[in-house]
């Protein structure tokens, strides 16, 4: 296993939208992103987080990597059940024997695990940031994700807050 962290677009976009993309660099150094993921957040657009992601690419915090050409057939097969970015992220994670794959989509996580790829989701990354005292509280971060369109089940939020040693804020 290498120290390389591979990331899919979803968690990157979420981190950029809540202005916490720097957590990746602080915790893990540069993060590798498959070429197909570059298209997903529409980096040249005015979409929320797109500018921060573009800046991270320019600064080398995110490093694009093409999928080896011999894996193109595997990518086509995986793309039948996953989006192209997820498929390439899983295959790149396998090829590079990564530390872990940062990915949130449930089906992609199942496929990655079946293929022996270690996975971490956005909530796991945020928990690591809290353990390293890079964030003070999880609850506000999790709440900030909701209006950004990031879906987290109540069960997951409860579990993340429990692992973080925080109580769930009173619901209104």
| Amino acid 88: pLDDT | 94
Q: Whole-prediction pTM value?
A: 0.88
Please report which confidence band the pLDDT of residue 121 belongs to, taking 50, 70 and 90 as the band edges. Answer: very high
116 & 128 share domain: no
At residue 55's C-alpha, the angle toward residues 84 and 59, to 5°, is 100
Q: What's the CATH number where 55 sits?
A: 3.40.50.1010
- 25-69: pLDDT as tens digits: 999 999 999 988 766 555 555 565 677 787 888 888 899 998 888
pLDDT tens profile 3-28: 899 999 889 989 988 989 999 999 99
pLDDT category of residue 73 using cuts at 50, 70 and 90: confident
State how many domains the chain has: 2
145 part of a folded domain = yes
Asked if 74 contacts 90 with a C-beta cutoff of 8 angstroms, the reply is no
Same domain, 53 and 110: yes
Residue 39 domain flag: yes
Reported as a single tens digit per residue, the pLDDT across 87-110 is 999 999 999 999 999 999 999 999
């Amino acid at each position: 296993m290498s120290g390389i962290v591979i990331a899919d677009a979803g968690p990157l976009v979420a981190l950029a939208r809540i202005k916490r993309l720097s957590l990746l660099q602080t915790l893990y150094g540069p993060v590798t992103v498959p070429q197909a993921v570059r298209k997903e957040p529409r980096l040249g657009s005015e979409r929320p987080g797109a500018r921060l992601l573009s800046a991270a690419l320019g600064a080398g915090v995110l490093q694009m990597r093409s999928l080896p050409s011999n894996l193109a057939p595997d990518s086509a097969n995986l793309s039948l059940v996953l989006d192209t970015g997820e498929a390439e992220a899983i295959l790149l994670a396998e090829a590079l024997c990564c530390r872990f794959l940062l990915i949130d989509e449930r089906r992609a996580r199942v496929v990655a695990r079946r293929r022996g790829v270690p996975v971490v989701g956005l909530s796991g990354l945020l928990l690591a940031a809290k353990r390293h005292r890079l964030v003070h509280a999880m609850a506000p971060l999790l709440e900030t994700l909701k209006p950004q369109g990031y879906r987290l089940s109540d069960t997951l939020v409860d579990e993340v807050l429990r692992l973080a040693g925080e109580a769930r804020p009173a619901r209104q």
